[in-house]
Structure 1
Amino acid sequence: MSERSPNNVPESRFEIICQHGSARLGRLFTAHGVFETPIFMPVGTNANVKLMRSDELKKIGAGIILSNAYHVAVRPGLEVIELHGGLHEFMAWSGGILTDSGGFQLFSLKEFRKISDDGVLFVSPYDGSKLFLTPEMSMEIQKVLGSDIVMVLDHCLPIESSYKEALDAMRRTHEWAKRCLKHGVKEQQMLFAIAQGGAFEDLRKASAQFLSQLAFDGFAIGGLSLGEPFEKTLQLTHVTVSELPWEKPRYFMGGGSPKTIIELVTLGVDMFDSVYPTRLARHGGALTSLGRLNIKSARYKKDLSPIDERCDCLVCQNYTRAYIHHLLNRGEALAGMLLTHHNLYYMFKFMEFVRKSIKEGKVEEMRKEVVKTYEERRGNCVDPSTFDVDMSCRRC
């Protein structure tokens, strides 16, 4: 037993059970449970997965959820989290938690931040208060939160950035990663590095090689699924993954559609997160065995079918498409709740099938089926013009 793992967490935090091609079936050991990979993590940026209670998430199969260290540190503030004893207690969640460091906010809050090699000065879009976030502070924040998986502070930049900009961001990401590693995390926490490099293969490769030499518990592919062509996503992921340690978990940040996940699983990725299923639900979209459905469409006004005939979730067992269409038409919050419940249940079942396909050596057959299903149904999404490479709505 490792001294770093007092709560029955083995020295090796990740084990690969079997592999088919590059796809891996594994187990991830955390202080709040052992989780099979590939795994999908729903996003709870503000310490909640929108429209879902923690007990509901547990019942439908959630294992690890994602929260955001920067947003939670700003509101409600670390002192409130400390009063509860950590993020798990604050949100009444007994499963795993991965916290993003604040690096993505360098991209998403570009009008409210100033970057230097020392760190990032954020001006809160809520109340104008200032926070100078350094790699060391990010580690301290995530220690207080008590998350199971801690992400290093990285410099995430737009995919269309120049080579010089990407090189500079990669250099800064590497320096910050070393500072995070030196500062350290709690004994029970895992620390993941994030490979960057923009849209450039040589930088992606160099970033993965550099970080692989350092003693991180896992590695993430960052700065993708930001609007680049899907084939570019696959190409850059492949280049990155090929340089990462085989024995460590690999996490693609921000990828969450069934098509994206199955394609990246075949490249050797183990972990995924995205707002895609929950955001789609709030806009009337459902994930089904037939592809995406827009329940707002008038065609469902008198449809007595469940969302998905093949689904056994609580929603599909009790409610019709017509009823949910009515709720959406009247702007009722229950519509989003029901669709969110269904979409997340669908994603967790989907991941079960992914893991089974790897175990049985049928992952390529599943990949072809999923790609066919979701490409053929693309015209029936909520609004095809607003969906990016990962089919997440750019307008939201």
Structure 2
Amino acid sequence: MKKFITTVKNIFSIEDLRIRILNTIGLLIVFRIGSFVVLPGVDPSRLGEAATGIFGLIDTFLGGSFSRASIFGLGIMPYISASIVLQLLTVGVPYFQKLQKEGESGRKRINQITRVLTILITLAQGVGYITATIPDEAIVINKTLFMTSALILLTAGTMFCMWIGEKITEKGIGNGISMLIMIGIISALPGAIISESLSKGGGGILLLLLEAVILFFVVVGVVALTEAVRRIPVQYAKQVVGGKVYGGQRQYIPIKVNASGVMPIIFAQSLMFLPALIAQIWAEDSDIASYIGTTFSDFTSWQYNLVFAVMIILFTFFYTAITVNPEQIAEDMKRNGGFVPGIKPGGPTADFIDNIISRITLPGSILLALVAIMPAFAIIAGVSSEFAQFYGGTSLLIMVGVILDTLRQIESYLLMRHYEGMMKSGNMKNDPSSYAVA
């Protein structure tokens, strides 16, 4: 406890870090306040029940603003969608590949295209959002006027959320966009704990403590999955520049076991609602369609979880393949005079790295699938649905990833000022700054 208090004092004794933390807190408060501001022309008391299904997942990411018909009703989700589209385009479209290689000017151009695409996606999603989630009886003004004003405000709200995220990244601590998602998820945690406590009653304290212990070990497992890397040794040839000798030391390239992050779960989760929606069209005329609709509407069923897990494994391989390029890594190593001991530079090195990625991606994808279906097991075991979402899935992975990234940034500030870091050793385990990326 004494070490923790000392660390906190050290954090706030660094002026730049203190200002960044206060900026982050202030911007997050603005974001949370905005999530409670209802669109003009909507009677909140007439809104429907809490969102479920894919809408419930989005509502979790946005901290409840989706179901409240807030001006931040779409939050930064359109921006994330636009970013994913641009990321995929940089893999398959030569024009975007060229922009990606142009350095800072190319990144600025990609950011401009992302912003324009975000506005277009927000307008398209806004129409569906208003139509699907806001009942007619909740709209107290002319519907045409409401549709026009709501689309403008939703678009402005999304762009403002994007601005908040960029300011947190620039003036605060951590990745701003990820921080907004995390704060939305964490905002549901107190209510989930209270709901779980009430459901257990006065005699369920021991059971609640047991659930907390299990949750602790689940979080530890997710941290291990997030941080696990396979280190590839790289030897750099000695070079004499200006009478000084450079290189000659051995460094490492870290290849993450879970290189795709939460994206496979997000992709699979989006597609898992299609069978139930499609089956509803023929449910009255077909027993099979009725069975499919019932089965895939229940995310605790073994059929749902089996298909969900298989899709996550497939998407993990797909997303890893498009984000990690062994040929590019091998080419960069060769250009910088580096080589893997015992492996020839160029093509053989690319094949060697590709084989390693293939071997570690399979166990990583299986573990990721297990984390994704953990909430279903928690619900079957008697945990309330609100609290069960923190036992795994996208929510837990996002929270763990954002918290670790933020701690690393704080760690770097402390070490730069010669303070002892967040960890006893003074350096967080698997800190990317301790590796060399070719």
Length-normalised TM-score, structure 1: 0.22
**Larger proportion of helix:** 2
**Larger proportion of strand:** 1
Length-normalised TM-score, structure 2: 0.20
